[in-house]
Amino acid sequence: MPTPADMHAFGIALGSELGAGDLIVLTGPLGAGKTTLTRGIGEGLGVRGPVTSPTFVLARTHPSLVGGAPLVHVDAYRLSSALEVDDLDLDLDNSVVIIEWGHEVAGVLADSWWEITIARPTAGAAEDADVESEPRSVRIERVSAV
């Protein structure tokens, strides 16, 4: 994805294919585009926005405006244990759930999920790197806890 606009457009296309019960784990460094992708997914699902990072609230629910599944956007970065995600009481069966930094907690929530990994070449590089326009690569795979 060469630009944030491309990441957003990819999210819109992906969101139009998702439905209740889908769990997506987003992995990538800070600034990779996880929230930009989620914003596009929310648009593709037709949910109420704005979709913003849930870092300080841990989880945000965005109800559908078109009669579809709501989007539950979770940031697991500050969770100290995988068991803490259970305290969030997520409606996995009736929602599309996206968990940023959720690799360690996904197996507690579901038997399988979609894992989307976003990479950028200068992740962790000097602060003067142009991370906004830097191309990203995206890998999508189906993961099973078993």
Q: Please, what's the b/e burial string for 17-30 (b: 16 or more CB within 10 A of its CB; e: otherwise)?
A: ebeeebbbbbbbee
Quote the number of domains for the chain. Answer: 1
Q: Is 140 helix (H, G, I), strand (E, B) or coil?
A: strand
State mean pLDDT over 112-126: 80
Establish if 130 belongs to a structural domain: no
pLDDT per position as a tens digit, 99-118: 998 888 888 889 999 999 99
Q: How confident is the model at residue 65 (pLDDT cuts 50, 70, 90)?
A: very high
pLDDT per position as a tens digit, 10-53: 999 999 999 999 999 999 988 889 999 999 999 999 999 899 88
Establish if 71 belongs to a structural domain: yes
**Is the full-model pTM beyond 0.85?**
yes
Q: How confident is the model at residue 145 (pLDDT cuts 50, 70, 90)?
A: confident
Establish if 129 belongs to a structural domain: no
User: Which CATH number covers residue 101?
Assistant: 3.40.50.300
Alpha carbon 72 to chain centroid distance?
9
- Parent domain of 88: 4-120+136-144
Task: Report the C-alpha gap between 27 and 91 in whole angstroms.
Answer: 21
